[in-house]
Amino acid sequence: MLLAEWSSTLVRGTAWLSFAFYIITLYGWLTGGGQIKSLQRLRYCWTMGCLVFCIHVACAFHLVHHWSHQSAWDATQLQGGYGDGVYANYLVLIVWLLDVLWWWLTPQGYMKRPRWVHITIHVFLLFMWFNAAVVFAHDELASMGIVGFTLLAVGVLQWHRRTTRASHPSQESPGQ
């Protein structure tokens, strides 16, 4: 029983640590303003989140599913009612890995990529993380997911204020 508890803690812990890196990276992206030092730190954070997510997937497959896709499919079916959702989980791993590689291999190209690419990637990842961290999380853990998404909402508001001020300078006269 001790091994099962340790396995569960390791699988869940790596998932939550990966989620934390994801939230920190997005919050920093939204509020950082794009300074080079900030972007370098964010790239390391983004990479660590992906690395920890890879460890999570490996731990889940080794410790829980014993390298059986069918076991992972069955667990996804049991938890979410749709076993083929496991393929969306695989896609998270692929998309995140490719995004990290893109940022490391061609940082200038990554920073200049079309906005729709960035948005599409993060809408997908946010959808998956929301389901993992809020919808399907146990009660006490769902509150951590809600805190993470609340932090992102604050970051979005800060980003919106900053970009609105930058694109619409105050029209007040100097005397006001």
Per-residue model confidence as pLDDT tens digits over 147-158:
999 999 999 999
Please state, in angstroms and rounded to a whole number, the distance separating the CA atoms of residues 54 and 76.
Answer: 18
pLDDT in tens, 14-64: 999 999 999 999 999 998 866 778 899 999 999 999 999 999 999 999 999
Q: What are phi and psi of 113, to 5 degrees?
A: -65, 155
Longest alpha-carbon distance in the chain = 73
Q: Is residue 171 part of a domain?
A: no
Q: Is residue 123 part of a domain?
A: yes
Which residue do the tokens 């695989």 mark? 90
Q: Which of 10-19, 40-49, 108-117, 138-147 has the lowest mean pLDDT?
A: 138-147
How high does pLDDT run on average in the chain? 90
Q: Is residue 27 part of a domain?
A: yes
* Through-space distance between the first and last CA atoms of the chain, rounded to whole angstroms: 71
Q: How much of the chain, in percent, has pLDDT values that exceed 90?
A: 69
Q: Residue 164: its pLDDT value, please? A: 84
Range of the domain at 140: 12-155
Tokens of 68: 């059986």
Count structural domains, the chain.
1
Q: Is residue 126 part of a domain?
A: yes
Average of per-residue pLDDT across 145-174: 80
Supply angle C-alpha 76, 19, 130, rounded to 5: 55
Q: Residue 45: its pLDDT value, please? A: 96
More confident residue, 61 or 166: 61
Supply angle C-alpha 66, 60, 121, rounded to 5: 130
Contacts 24+ apart (CB under 8 A), 111-116: 111/39
pTM metric for this prediction? 0.87
More confident residue, 166 or 12: 12
Q: Is residue 161 part of a domain?
A: no
Q: How much of the chain, in percent, has pLDDT values that exceed 70?
A: 93
Q: For residue 111, with 0-12 CB atoms within 10 Å meaning exposed, 13-18 middle and 19 or more buried, which class applies?
A: exposed
More confident residue, 106 or 161: 106
Q: Is residue 168 part of a domain?
A: no
Q: Is residue 174 part of a domain?
A: no
Tokens of 77: 């079916």
Helix (H) or strand (E) holding 146: helix 139-167
Q: Residue 168: its pLDDT value, please? A: 67
Q: Is residue 81 part of a domain?
A: yes
Q: Residue 133: its pLDDT value, please? A: 92
